[in-house]
Amino acid sequence: AYPGGAARLHLLRFVVGDAAFFRGLARYVADNAASSVDTADLRRAIERESGLDLRRWFEQWLHSAGYPEFALEWGWDPARRVVLVDVEQTQSSEGGTPSVFTLPVDIEVRDETGARTTRVTVDQRRQRFELAATTKPTWVVFDKHGWIPKRLVQQRGLDEWLALAAHDDDVNGRRDALAALGLELERSRDDKLRWRIVEVVVAAASDPSPAVRIAALRAFSGVHTGPEHPIARCLTTAASSDRVAAVRVAALESLARWDTRARFAAFALEQFDERYSYATMGAAARLYALARPEAAREWIVDRLALASPHDVLRAQLLRALALIPGQDTDDVLLSAALDTASHSQAREMAVRELARRAPRWPKARQAFLSILDSTPWYRLQNAAIDALGAVGDQASRAALQRFHARSTEPRQRRLIEAALSKSAS
């Protein structure tokens, strides 16, 4: 509910413009001080400041279900020097979703003369827009800067993705392009094409935006090289020197997916010992667990007692341990799940990993039942609920039904209902 509402308010800001939007918010607060309000009060305040009739917008976006789903195709007419943009709304109207959403959309066309953005109105199931283009466009971007909560299906060629990854001024555009290039890099067997992609992705690993750097490093997750390869050097450099912990984690996680990861075991230990953040230590431990599982189990167990706020490092280490097969791992996870001296965050991780590995192990099932019956911690309760849903036997279902009867939190009740539904199937 919260991100959905925020996304719609963000769209409303786009529809009415910054000045009217913020004046409208100020009027909404001033006019309704010390009184109760509803959505219509917000609509009236912004209508007064914007001069727009927003009844249809509020009906579609706040009083109806769903969101638009678009399919986009474009082509260039060289004789007329226009780009033809075909837009189709494909969402189903079942459940009360509007069959046609009506709203403004910014479409950016970039050609050899530069980028131009045109605002159009989408108000039909299928529409064609003709936009000026002196030469064949380098790219066409529907909903520039991503104002609209939507699903968009658009087929792009490799050259378009490469151009977007390298030159789009929108962080989201560069990030999405890098994700697409990662898929192409993983499946392509054309060395020349792959190196074109690699050059763009390596450059993006130094992008000013951490989100783009993360996307670039994840694009290399399906590669598999030795430590001296340029791609591996890009990942190890990011993992050891980027100023943002989440970027380092992305690099370590890509290395962990490689079938050559055993060659990065020593590097994983180095990054753990650097202690840049608990998240990077956890990612390094996961890389080591996959690179050297025979040595990693004892190494991880020896470090489970390391102190950290709220046992956040212990939770990370338990997640890494769970990557190593064997009954010994299950025993450690069981002990951690039942350890009432540990913070609930570590216990939650142990429960979730044990449920993923061995939900029907009798000792695990009994642990889940015991935790649900005894813990006061909300997130740990929810982990036990999910685990019992995975077990799915009669005793687990009975425990979930009893807990549902005494739970008063709506999200948790829905979680229990989902677990019961899963176990029934």
The tens place of each residue's pLDDT in the chain, 425 residues long, gives: 688 999 999 999 999 999 999 999 999 999 999 999 999 999 999 999 999 999 999 999 999 999 999 999 999 999 999 999 999 999 999 999 999 999 999 999 999 999 999 999 999 999 999 999 999 999 999 999 999 999 999 999 999 999 999 999 999 999 999 999 999 999 999 999 999 999 999 999 999 999 999 999 999 999 999 999 999 999 999 999 999 999 999 999 999 999 999 999 999 999 999 999 999 999 999 999 999 999 999 999 999 999 999 999 999 999 999 999 999 999 999 999 999 999 999 999 999 999 999 999 999 999 999 999 999 999 999 999 999 999 999 999 999 999 999 999 999 999 999 999 987 77
Q: What's this model's pTM, rounded to 2 decimal places? A: 0.90
Yes or no: say if 348 and 328 are a contact pair by the CB < 8 Å rule. Answer: no
Q: How many CB atoms lie within 10 A of CB 51?
A: 8
Yes or no: say if 415 and 385 are a contact pair by the CB < 8 Å rule. Answer: yes
At which residue do the structure tokens 């993006």 appear? 204
pLDDT of residue 103: 95
At which residue do the structure tokens 């509020």 appear? 58
pLDDT of residue 163: 98
Which of 264, 200, 272, 210 has the alpha carbon at shortest distance from 235?
264
At which residue do the structure tokens 């390298």 appear? 166
Q: Which amino acid is at 145?
A: H
Phi, psi angle pair for 293, to nearest 5°:
-60, -30
Give the Cα separation of 419 and 390 in Å (integer): 7
Yes or no: say if 134 and 112 are a contact pair by the CB < 8 Å rule. Answer: yes
Instruction: Convert 248-263 to b/e letters by CB count within 10 Å (16 or more is b).
Output: bbbbbbbbbebeebee
Give the Cα separation of 423 and 385 in Å (integer): 11
Instruction: Convert 293-322 to b/e letters by CB count within 10 Å (16 or more is b).
Output: eeebbebbeebbeeebeebbbbbbbbbbbb
Give the Cα separation of 130 and 378 in Å (integer): 54
Yes or no: say if 390 and 355 are a contact pair by the CB < 8 Å rule. Answer: yes
pLDDT of residue 423: 77
pLDDT of residue 2: 83
Q: Is the dihedral of CA 87, 90, 91, 97 positive or negative?
A: positive
- In sequence order, which residues have a C-beta less than 8 Å from that of residue 400 and are 6 or more positions away? 372, 385, 388, 389, 416, 419, 420, 423
Yes or no: say if 242 and 213 are a contact pair by the CB < 8 Å rule. Answer: yes
Give the Cα separation of 118 and 107 in Å (integer): 5
Q: Is the dihedral of CA 417, 418, 422, 423 positive or negative?
A: negative
3-state helix, strand, coil in the chain (%, to 5): 60, 10, 25
